[in-house]
Amino acid sequence: MKIALTGITGFLGHYVVKKLFERDIQILALIRNTSNTLHLMDYQKKITFIQGDMTDKETLKKFVQGADVVIHMAYERNGASFHEAANKDIKRFVEANLLGSIELLDASKQAGIKQFIFISSCAVYGYIFPHIKLDELHPLIPDSNYGAYKASVEAFCHAYCMTKTFDTTIFRPVGIYGINPHLAHSAWYNIVKDIKHGCNVEVSGGGKIVNVEDVIQAIDLAISNKEASGKIYNLVDFYVDNMTVAQIAKEFCASQSNISGTPKQPIHTIDNTQSQSLGVRYAGIEGLKRYIRELLNLI
């Protein structure tokens, strides 16, 4: 089997490559000429790199040629946060991400691929109706350019699936945590580092989270799975406030840090029943604790 991947040099892409490397799969990877692939060296014997970007039709045709499945994770943001990139240069943002994604879908159609997996985001929901269950059927009213982009690509995925061009599967993860190949970019890195070094920390906020291994588990379960055709899956484990993360880190390393701040409570709960039906088994609080312990050991 050949799988074409966009976003291979990103945080999630690294874990997807690692998982696919364990299977009898050849990887086609779209990378830009500025992409850093050093952290992928252990997997390169199964990777064919195609250099170019999402705005080049000819590159996209070459990229998907011979592929059975396309997994689309790429998001051009040039070092900015997900939301900052969507607000910085709207013309470039639309050309590189939205139009690029549509061109990728069209190239996939021309190449006769069997399945297109799109990594979307729970940012597509935006406004939450108070009396409607927050599952995959909740209306999409994005409150950000980033959410609007993801919702737009989802709509095109549905169109290709409904016309029986190829199977599509959409995943909507919340905040993904895990050890980043670029360690300082790992979730809660600064909080955990300060606590390990005995600094006093003031924390605020929190969010809904999912372990990167659980996201990879979901993608792996969907590949070539007819039951996942046309489906959308929320990928969410639980809500955690940053005060809890800090307290776990302090307990593990017996730090003398003083932690201050006010725990934040969640407003909404996102339903993950559909992803559990797919077979996803979430890491839960124990998975978070394992991650914090590993991060402490690496800092």
The SS3 assignment for 33 reads coil
CATH architecture of 2-173: 3-Layer(aba) Sandwich (3.40)
Prediction pTM value: 0.93
CATH 1.10.3470 for domain 177-209+237-271+279-298, yes or no, is no
- Which of 128, 223, 130, 208 is closest to 169 using CA atoms? 223
Segments making up each domain of the chain, as ranges: 2-173, 177-209+237-271+279-298
Q: Cα separations (Å) of 267 from 143, 185, 295?
A: 16, 27, 28
pLDDT of the chain, 299 residues: tens digit per residue: 999 999 988 899 999 999 998 888 899 999 887 667 777 777 778 888 898 888 889 999 999 999 999 999 988 756 555 556 556 678 888 888 899 999 999 999 999 999 999 999 999 999 999 999 999 999 999 999 999 999 999 999 999 999 999 999 999 999 999 999 999 999 999 999 999 999 999 999 999 999 999 999 999 999 999 999 999 999 999 999 999 999 999 999 999 999 999 888 888 999 999 999 999 999 999 999 999 999 999 99
- Which of 65, 119, 125 is closest to 97 using CA atoms? 119
Alpha helices by DSSP H, listed for the chain, are 11-21, 57-64, 82-88, 90-93, 100-111, 145-162, 189-196, 212-222, 242-253, 273-278, 284-298
In the numeric block, which tokens belong to residue 166?
A: 């190829």
Strands 2-6 and 69-72: parallel
